[in-house]
Amino acid sequence: MGKRRIIMLLLAMGLFVLSGGAADHHPHVKSKANQATLEVRKMLKLLNKPGVKTIKSEDGDIVDCVDIYKQPAFDHPALRNHKIQMTPNLQFASEVPSSSPSPSPSPIASSPVQNDHNSSQQILSQIWQKSGSCPGGTIPIRRIRRQDLLRAASLEHFGKKPANSYYSTNDEKGAVIINGTRVELGPQINRSAAILITVGYSYTGAQGDINIWNPRVQSPDEFTTAQIWLKNGPGDAFESVESGWVVNPKLYGDGASRLFVYWTKDAYKSTGCFDLTCSGFVHTNKYLALGMALGPVSSEMGPQYQATFSITKDFHTNNWWVRVGQNIPVGYFPPELFFYLTKGVAALVEWENHPHTATEMGSGDFAWGKLGNACYIKQVRIIDYSMQLKYPEWVGTYTDEEYCYTALNYAASLAEEPVFYFGGPGLNPPDCNYLL
């Protein structure tokens, strides 16, 4: 593609495998068990920073209000001397028109609920907020507990996605043509995709209004997410920053939709993680906690809820800021974490999963169900060096398991801007791939 950059919007799911064995009373086995217990305790101490206040959420989670200067980010060797940027320097030449409410001191408020599935409510509330708030100078961090670590395949894989792996193929299935440019997308062994994609130059951010649902995950070893994903670098070692909502029983222990961020420097091989489960992301918002449940969620032919997600480069600091709702800053990915992401970027929203399971994507309904049935991303915007929020000039859609999950960029008329719909039920009898 030469110097061109790619921007996509995708929905994501992934597969983790937890292995175990039968109990053994041999002394050697007991010694290994004792060592494993010590390692779990050590990691819990590393992950859970001492809080000045503790809040118990009604859904069972615990939030610790931690001094902002003592958060996990600063355990990263590259951030030892990092100076926190408390607010972003982001001003665009034109903002996306919105009927959503004005920002409030706390991001809990929202517009009046309408019981018409044809209208959408801008929502940005978390269940833990009903039980308290963190004082100034602190950030809310979801407490990691022993059972969270024990669900992981290993302590080293806690909070991480599996590395990307691709099938060897020479056909057209893993590519899409956008404005004459061939974009390679897969197919991938441990994930699939329903994508809105555009090709252009020097993108410095992306945003969209993402519909919030609570899709069913078949197995604790899988996850499903709707997100914005900014990406750059070679295919086998790309760098990316991501944000949106996720259902991830392996990581969080339940089937709730939760606010998340993610980053990697090497295509998920060894760097990066969800939320604050490793050092890297700098959290700045005392009202919003990463990894905590969102609510309410959309329902079939009922009220629709959405939140604006944005990831944008701050040219004053080169930090990649995550904002949600009405431009509410959550925090940022510092440039010290990356090489390629200090330059032009690509953004996408993907679903990734071990193929042919019954894990749902989006709402669990196919894209052609449209508003009230299918999950959507509205007000899709890219940002470039003109510092303007604008709809991409060239777009295309792609899905690699079209009988399981579908993608549709739909506009009712030429005068309307398209809405990106995506989703599906996954494997349901008969096999969703029986027509392939």
Asked if pLDDT for residue 105 goes beyond 70, the answer is no
Phi-psi bin for 164: left (phi > 0), alpha (psi -120 to 50), beta?
beta
Whole-number pLDDT of residue 428: 57
Q: What is the pLDDT of residues 138-167, one digit of tens each?
A: 999 999 999 999 999 899 999 999 876 654
Give the mean pLDDT of 37-50. 94
Mean pLDDT (whole number) for 281-301:
95
What was the pLDDT predicted at 179?
Answer: 57
- The dihedrals phi and psi of 91, each to the nearest 5 degrees, come to -135, 125
Query: Is 11 strand, coil or helix?
Result: strand
The Cα-based distances of 379 to 1, 9, 214, 263, 392 in angstroms read 27, 12, 21, 24, 11
pLDDT digits (tens, 9 = 90+) for 399-424: 777 778 888 998 988 888 999 998 88
Segment holding 310, helix H or strand E: strand 304-313
Q: How far is CA 207 from CA 75, 143, 311, in A?
A: 29, 29, 6
pLDDT mean over 37-63: 95
**In angstroms, rounded to a whole number, what is the distance separating the alpha carbons of residues 16 and 396?**
30
Mean pLDDT of 314-321: 93
Given pLDDT bands bounded at 50, 70 and 90, which one contains residue 112? very low
Question: Beta strand pairing status for 222-232 and 205-211?
Answer: unpaired
pLDDT band at 184 (very low <50, low <70, confident <90, very high): low
| Of 370, 369, 347, 364, the residue nearest 416 (C-alpha) | 370
pLDDT recorded at residue 157: 92
Backbone angles phi, psi at 179, to 5 degrees: 50, 40
DSSP line for 225-253: EEEEEEEES-TTS-EEEEEEEEE-HHHHS
Cα 31 from Cα 33, distance rounded (Å): 5
More confident call, 202 vs 388: 388
pLDDT at position 326 is 86
Closest by Cα among 258, 260, 251 to 294: 258
Identity of residue 294: L
**Residue, of 196 and 276, whose pLDDT is higher:** 276
In contact, 260 and 14? CB cutoff 8 Å: no
In this prediction, residue 312 carries a pLDDT of: 93
Q: Is 166 exposed, middle or buried (0-12, 13-18, 19+ CB in 10 A)?
A: middle
Residue type, 63: V
For the chain, domain boundaries = 5-16+47-97+127-423
Over residues 162-186, the mean pLDDT reads 60
Distance from C-alpha of 341 to C-alpha of 421, rounded to nearest angstrom: 28
Per-residue pLDDT band for 26 (boundaries 50, 70, 90) equals low
3 state DSSP class of 407: strand
Residue 282 CA: distances (Å) to CA of 73, 323, 415 = 6, 13, 41
pLDDT of amino acid 2: 46
Q: Looking at residue 412, what is its pLDDT? A: 86
Supply the mean pLDDT for the chain: 80
Query: Would you say 390 and 229 are in contact if contact means Cβ atoms under 8 Å apart?
Result: no
DSSP structure string for 107-125: TT--PPP---TTSEEE---
- The SS3 call for residue 33 is helix
What's the confidence (pLDDT) of residue 93?
Answer: 62
**Over the stretch 71-101, which tens digit does the pLDDT of each residue have?**
999 999 999 999 999 999 987 665 444 333 3
Is residue 404 within 8 A of residue 426, CB to CB? The reply is yes
| pLDDT computed for residue 196 by the predictor | 79
pLDDT at 249: 94
Q: Binning pLDDT at 50, 70 and 90, where does residue 397 land?
A: confident
Cα dihedral 248, 251, 252, 258 sign: negative
pLDDT tens-place string over residues 204-262: 889 999 999 999 988 878 888 898 888 888 878 889 999 999 999 999 999 999 999 99
User: Is the pLDDT score of 283 beyond 90?
Assistant: yes
The dihedrals phi and psi of 423, each to the nearest 5 degrees, come to 140, 180
Q: Give the Cα separation of 13 and 338 in Å (integer).
A: 24
Task: Name the residue type at position 87.
Answer: T
pLDDT of residue 174: 60
